[in-house]
Structure 1
């Protein structure tokens, strides 16, 4: 269950009559516990309570108290030995009137009336395995409102299916935006009376909902008609008390979908929520999920936390503003200069979605401006930060509408906070007919058209704020010479997940620079467009991006082009999880890269620790691999640059499953297993020790193989499978159906390295196998090479190199022979060096053998941040690292940064490269 579903479930529980006997189980069920789990608790099988309550191990101890004895019951639960033994996170007591709970880890306590406990649902989310509790508590209203709006949306589409079609989807989304505004306006005094919109619908519409759509339509018509024109337009008297809103929000069509009794009920329930609690920071993305078919299935998961967004905005420009505020102190002139500067700052998100980045940037800047005004004794001063200086591009129309609405709400809330309700209301209505969010394809639009090439005033025209056309509304800017900060979280899709249209878009953007755009992630288009924008505007940018643009084969394609345009990386975050509200706290792995043609002398490189804290290091230069002090770009090589053995990819089967067998299937195969079967090894088999086998037939043995009926049938099945393939290459292999695509194996041994492996291990997995073993294309292999190679691959310094220059799948290592092994910089080795490293490799293998049948997964396991590596194996690795690192610098390296600095220094010497942008560009 996600956060929205949990909130709905416990709200339903609180609305029902209190059932003392059933409450503990219903409460646990609301947090996603399975029926079988509840059944075991009811029967007493898993209930560990020693005070007559319900105790779920590692979760919560609940008891229904006698009336008036809630506090005493909670104290008894907390003091219970069973609570301690079961490692309960929470204790909870209620008598159906009062509700109390305590988080035993933090000591935080909740005390409220029983009907109000759903307001605190975020407190208990660890029960459902959701750890982003702080952010969810801060957005509790948004989650509740989103769930209610989603139910209304779905119910309306049941009775108005045509409103869900492509032709009318815009109308439906526009209708939802209007409702959101009305709910907010009636609770924040924008409308003249509290609950005016909801109360009018309740009073004027029939209980059977037959005319609900007509009532709402008339209200919308009233809010789009000037007061002086309403009599002429025939506005109903009961709708005449609403203000004139204008701004395009209620223009266009005013028809409304028909309401069922259920839909009308949902609408009234939504209106009865306290919309003063709306949080425009993230509300937009929640509402976006309501109107998006794909996202509605994961409702509540589409969420970008404010702390994550500030990782982009703070180092991009907000930290600098705060520093200037601190430097200004109470100096009126300096404060005025800072305020004037802020009035000209423009924030631009060219993939703005529902406006999260823009809203947060606006609110943060208003807070700084408010402090300036306070210090200058001008606390009531109207803001000089134009809302229209916060611009975005969004592909879809509804998120673009919501982004504008979120900014309008943010401006009003800031005015209330810093200037007071009266001043805020005076300036709020009617809305301006300005369109500062463009609906269109950011990779096709000319960003300079949105701002003007020099920051001069821009004048373009549209009549409709919420119609979201490409042409923008007439807006005059007085911000010539101001700074522009480009930010956001553009889409990243890898290379394989791009549509044909998206691939063509990248090709058009990169066409004049490179013919290798097909190797780039979709997000790279935003990096290039930003760099081009910087050629004509004083601007800086920072994007959340897939980490692949700073790893592996994309680096030598993308970054030389950016360097040619004068771009420098000014700050960056190493890979971390960009979390959301999913029950397992799932998230994509990203980096943040801040860049500009404005070269900052002090650059920041941030790292997220295992505890979730982040720390920074300073540098005068940050390279494309997010390494301080070096801009060298590593280019993949088909042959080793150092004196090491070549490595190749294992054998690709392409056999339809007819030549490969699980170990459980081998015993009953009707063939000579010793002759025709060989162990088959890929990433999983090397790491976890699982067994698979394959039929291996050399050409010389084909005649003999065909004499075996089983083998002959398998060979013919492969032939048929390959011939039926749509791929011409696969069909071409049908003339040798007895074999894999490749038939490589060692004469003496195979040193096998898995392609994918966990980033949690202290060393990369690698193992030595005899000549009978066959490697798949899920592993790389050194055939018949010196065992010394194992010492190199299993070293800390090699892991650090691979981590920096190879691509990753999420945060897992993705090994590459061309990028990681053949480029690995190694000093010239003496005979003694070779002998010492050979001994180190043998010691590692012997240490592993001593723990047979433990696998690499067992021996190198890291659990809860603690390595489970046996002492003798650790000692063998420590000795290996010491021997190898002394070859590099005559001592152990102090840290990974020093290791990388030395590796890149050697790589530069080996390739003749240097760190200039010109040389880097030539490397591509």
Structure 2
């Protein structure tokens, strides 16, 4: 059966009258179990259920039950010895009104009304033999907790529509934050006994869920009421055992959304998880996904992975702290000085989301502090690292508060780990009222006011944990002389995908520097603000960024200004594929760039090679293109710096579709063979050349116009062009109406043309340059070298040229975006001897012959990743070897070495211009 047929069978089953005895078999039949299989189950031959249900080994254990007992029945199925022995994947319980099921492999659950269970067809897909690729491989607790919390969240909004409005969404988010804290506190003895919160819910709320919201609201009120005030507040005895938590988390409104039976069931299931296993490193982002509509479909997948976070934090400051710890050895005074230094370090993430970077930084610093205390024989000493030193800015309120909650949880877990649970519990409650995570637009806020050099700026929450406004009383604490490390993973957003508000944000940042921000990626705003911050405060910064800010037209706009502000690139991870667990991250390539102002610090370049190993190099200087060498910015040139032939765009039709034809449409013109030869030519753009698409065009020199006008079909096309051009609002297009028989340009090769597509897939190892005859035309969707010697093709087809244009031209989404002025005219080539040219010509011929050997395979076929023919690959490899020996007398070791040589050569070729530009760049 097809999936749609199975889904329909389930829908039909849900609409029928419920028959407890027949339902299990009807359910299995819907999943395409044949008559023999069902007969064996009915007769008990293969049914091994020990509960009177239906058990299909390795698949599912189903049990129908009395009204109101679906939850207890599912618990019994899970505890069944037969369930374990038969290795079933699913358990299912239903009374015909309620429906509950669990995937025993993943822990995922379904709780719904019986009539709605067909909506969960995807959940049961494996029963139909339809497998899905599991995208998540992180901590099982984090995954299961997020899924269950999401289902609870969605159910609560369904049962309480008013809570889903913009006016009340804040309240439901606040409620979820409180709930998360309660479950964590319940399993970690913070509430004075394991399971007290869950037990109270089970004992005090009715099974029909009618008063669940009232019980939870009362508990929240107790946690917000001091012991001495509880009598006056009329806190009931059953809630009086809970400690005073406050800290703003339980202040303000304590109303709770109404719970349906299904919502209560999810609440119970969430409570059954082992919350001691919560991982605050990533849990904040997973919880954030619950409340973000656009992220809910990818729960648990939108976060920066811990290894990637450490790629930022380790070279930024953690490696230095660890090195100082090693140097200190057991010297008590040196260790004390290091500990004091750490108390004044602030970590500031101005795009903190749910706090991943801050949590990891805090935990790593606590580990170093714990080792210091151990060596100083002070293992029980309270931490002197204030959690308020981990500051953040986040645009949305819910992730901002989850960030603070994640840090609170991390602080408690570190106290338990390094000092023991007794001391951790004694000092944990009540929660502090400070707010060190600010909700706001990081590109609009003054970072010095959020994280000032003197340490001021931690604000006091008067009433509400969720109040993150800036107009509150400040708490001063000593931090004079401390270090600030700015870090994070800001939003990327290329210039084409930015909203109107985001464009305005960038303009507000760059306008004071007299810089146009129209071409700059959104993440560029964080870099310039970090450099400006470091100009007045002792600070270093590092961000995960799209590598586009180190490529193409952005480089000469952004980086000279960063250098003028006194910052330089202290370390960088060159481009690497984004490998967090998001299913939509294919093709995203990032870099990590660290800035500093202290010129005495060493500079390091981290590079991920093809074997997946990271190499580290000390560098005298790291360029904006993330290479080692002098700071050179590449800007478009009108002529080749290497004296190469001119490359131009092809010919633009501006024809309204009247001069261009598919192969079939060209036939419909009804031209004679001689007229076809005279007036039709094959035309190539990027798609036509790469995919072998046949298109033709009318190509009419002035001297042949009278002859062309004698042909009715051609005359009609020319009339169509004229009409289109005259109707245009563009004056230049209007002028071209006087020569409606021609393209805007009329360029073609007298002997041949080298063609190069304007856009090419990133997956190809070489640029798909080709040779076409003198009767073919290049459209404006490709570049052309008219009658250029064939050795130019060898240059373009080389690995050297690919890495150059990938760096200086940038990309269009994930594809290479070519530019004649920025890619070809800037390409540095040593002076070529006649022998060099002859050798390269032979290489180009060999590439063409290898392609011809596989005719009619297209360029797309021949250069598909992992499918490139051996002889073609060998021809390209030989071409690379010949060319690279011209440059350095041997093959380059890697692309990093290629780029460094190219930039060095480019700097020498453009020395006069470069020196002039660099005078305006103030370097440390």
Deviation (angstroms), 1:716 = 7.3
Question: Which of 807, 831, 834 lines up with 1:804 in the alignment?
Answer: 807
Q: After superposition, give the CA deviation of every residue in 1:768-799 in whole Å (9 maximum; x if it has no partner).
A: 11233333443222223222211221223222
> Is the CA contact (8 Å cut-off) linking 1:604 and 1:616 kept in structure 2?
yes
Deviation (angstroms), 1:759 = 4.0
Residues 676 and 179 of structure 1: CA distance in aligned 2, closer, same or farther (over 3 Å): farther
> Is the CA contact (8 Å cut-off) linking 1:434 and 1:472 kept in structure 2?
no
Q: After superposition, give the CA deviation of every residue in 1:103-140 in whole Å (9 maximum; x if it has no partner).
A: xxxxxxxxxxx98543599xx99x9675876xx233x2
Alignment-derived partner of residue 910 in structure 2: 911
Residues 222 and 717 of structure 1: CA distance in aligned 2, closer, same or farther (over 3 Å): farther
Deviation (angstroms), 1:255 = 2.0
Alignment-derived partner of residue 795 in structure 2: 792
Alignment-derived partner of residue 348 in structure 1: 348
Residue 825 (structure 2) pairs with residue 826 (structure 1): no
Alignment-derived partner of residue 385 in structure 2: 385
Residue 99 (structure 2) pairs with residue 96 (structure 1): no
Residue 172 (structure 2) pairs with residue 175 (structure 1): no
Question: Which of 762, 782, 785 lines up with 2:785 in the alignment?
Answer: 782
For 1:380 and 1:220, locate their aligned partners in 2 and report how far apart those are by CA, in whole Å: 32
Contiguous gaps of at least 5 residues in structure 2: 1-19, 38-45, 47-55, 60-80, 89-101, 110-124
For 2:141 and 2:247, locate their aligned partners in 1 and report how far apart those are by CA, in whole Å: 27
Structure 1 window deviating more from structure 2 (670-679 vs 772-781): it is: 670-679
Alignment of 1:180-329 (within 5 A): 180-329=180-329
For 2:283 and 2:713, locate their aligned partners in 1 and report how far apart those are by CA, in whole Å: 63
Alignment-derived partner of residue 80 in structure 1: none
Alignment of 1:620-631 (within 5 A): 620-631=620-631
Structure 1 window deviating more from structure 2 (294-303 vs 625-634): it is: 294-303
Deviation (angstroms), 1:723 = 9.0
For 1:851 and 1:204, locate their aligned partners in 2 and report how far apart those are by CA, in whole Å: 77
Contiguous gaps of at least 5 residues in structure 1: 1-16, 30-34, 45-52, 54-62, 67-93, 102-113
Deviation (angstroms), 1:364 = 1.2
State how many pairs are aligned: 834
> Is the CA contact (8 Å cut-off) linking 1:719 and 1:734 kept in structure 2?
yes
Deviation (angstroms), 1:699 = 6.7
Deviation (angstroms), 1:237 = 3.1
Determine helix, strand or coil for the equivalent of 2:83.
Answer: coil
Residues 920 and 218 of structure 1: CA distance in aligned 2, closer, same or farther (over 3 Å): farther
For 1:714 and 1:274, locate their aligned partners in 2 and report how far apart those are by CA, in whole Å: 74
Question: Which of 118, 123, 142 lines up with 2:106 in the alignment?
Answer: 118
Alignment-derived partner of residue 162 in structure 2: 162
> Is the CA contact (8 Å cut-off) linking 1:563 and 1:917 kept in structure 2?
no
Q: After superposition, give the CA deviation of every residue in 1:842-886 in whole Å (9 maximum; x if it has no partner).
A: 3332333233333334444441xxx74433x45544554444344
Alignment-derived partner of residue 5 in structure 2: none
Residue 516 (structure 2) pairs with residue 516 (structure 1): yes
Alignment-derived partner of residue 746 in structure 1: 749
Q: After superposition, give the CA deviation of every residue in 1:804-832 in whole Å (9 maximum; x if it has no partner).
A: 32202455432221111101112333444
Determine helix, strand or coil for the equivalent of 2:138.
Answer: helix
Alignment-derived partner of residue 137 in structure 1: 138
Deviation (angstroms), 1:667 = 5.2
Q: After superposition, give the CA deviation of every residue in 1:60-84 in whole Å (9 maximum; x if it has no partner).
A: xxx9589xxxxxxxxxxxxxxxxxx
> Is the CA contact (8 Å cut-off) linking 2:435 and 2:459 kept in structure 1?
no
Residue 405 (structure 2) pairs with residue 405 (structure 1): yes
Alignment-derived partner of residue 466 in structure 1: 466
Alignment-derived partner of residue 769 in structure 1: 772
For 1:483 and 1:696, locate their aligned partners in 2 and report how far apart those are by CA, in whole Å: 68
RMSD of aligned alpha carbons: 4.0
Q: TM-score normalised to the size of structure 2? A: 0.82
For 1:498 and 1:234, locate their aligned partners in 2 and report how far apart those are by CA, in whole Å: 53
> Is the CA contact (8 Å cut-off) linking 2:455 and 2:477 kept in structure 1?
yes
Q: After superposition, give the CA deviation of every residue in 1:39-75 in whole Å (9 maximum; x if it has no partner).
A: 799999xxxxxxxx9xxxxxxxxx9589xxxxxxxxx
Structure 1 window deviating more from structure 2 (655-664 vs 269-278): it is: 655-664
Alignment-derived partner of residue 76 in structure 1: none
> Is the CA contact (8 Å cut-off) linking 1:433 and 1:473 kept in structure 2?
no
For 1:654 and 1:428, locate their aligned partners in 2 and report how far apart those are by CA, in whole Å: 72
Residues 268 and 549 of structure 1: CA distance in aligned 2, closer, same or farther (over 3 Å): same
For 1:423 and 1:765, locate their aligned partners in 2 and report how far apart those are by CA, in whole Å: 67
Alignment-derived partner of residue 454 in structure 2: 455
> Is the CA contact (8 Å cut-off) linking 1:914 and 1:920 kept in structure 2?
no
Residues 473 and 387 of structure 1: CA distance in aligned 2, closer, same or farther (over 3 Å): farther
Alignment of 1:526-545 (within 5 A): 526-545=526-545
Determine helix, strand or coil for the equivalent of 2:369.
Answer: helix
For 1:815 and 1:757, locate their aligned partners in 2 and report how far apart those are by CA, in whole Å: 8
Residue 439 (structure 2) pairs with residue 439 (structure 1): yes
Residues 658 and 368 of structure 1: CA distance in aligned 2, closer, same or farther (over 3 Å): farther
Alignment-derived partner of residue 335 in structure 1: 335
Deviation (angstroms), 1:346 = 0.6
> Is the CA contact (8 Å cut-off) linking 1:129 and 1:583 kept in structure 2?
no
For 1:160 and 1:650, locate their aligned partners in 2 and report how far apart those are by CA, in whole Å: 61
For 1:129 and 1:734, locate their aligned partners in 2 and report how far apart those are by CA, in whole Å: 58
Residues 270 and 542 of structure 1: CA distance in aligned 2, closer, same or farther (over 3 Å): same
Structure 1 window deviating more from structure 2 (726-735 vs 394-403): it is: 726-735
Determine helix, strand or coil for the equivalent of 1:96.
Answer: helix
Residues 714 and 179 of structure 1: CA distance in aligned 2, closer, same or farther (over 3 Å): farther
Higher CA-based Rg: 2
Determine helix, strand or coil for the equivalent of 2:182.
Answer: helix
Deviation (angstroms), 1:572 = 0.9
Alignment of 1:324-723 (within 5 A): 324-452=324-452, 454-458=453-457, 460-463=459-462, 464-471=464-471, 474-583=474-583, 586=586, 588-599=588-599, 601-652=601-652, 660-663=660-663, 670=670, 674=677, 677-696=680-699
Residues 232 and 919 of structure 1: CA distance in aligned 2, closer, same or farther (over 3 Å): same
> Is the CA contact (8 Å cut-off) linking 1:650 and 1:744 kept in structure 2?
yes
Q: After superposition, give the CA deviation of every residue in 1:683-732 in whole Å (9 maximum; x if it has no partner).
A: 33323333334455667777776776766776777788889999998899
Alignment-derived partner of residue 841 in structure 1: 844
Alignment-derived partner of residue 10 in structure 1: none
> Is the CA contact (8 Å cut-off) linking 1:570 and 1:600 kept in structure 2?
no
Determine helix, strand or coil for the equivalent of 1:574.
Answer: strand
Residues 854 and 462 of structure 1: CA distance in aligned 2, closer, same or farther (over 3 Å): same
Determine helix, strand or coil for the equivalent of 1:137.
Answer: coil
Determine helix, strand or coil for the equivalent of 1:552.
Answer: coil
Deviation (angstroms), 1:490 = 0.5
Residues 234 and 667 of structure 1: CA distance in aligned 2, closer, same or farther (over 3 Å): farther
Question: Which of 816, 821, 824 lines up with 2:819 in the alignment?
Answer: 816
Determine helix, strand or coil for the equivalent of 1:294.
Answer: coil
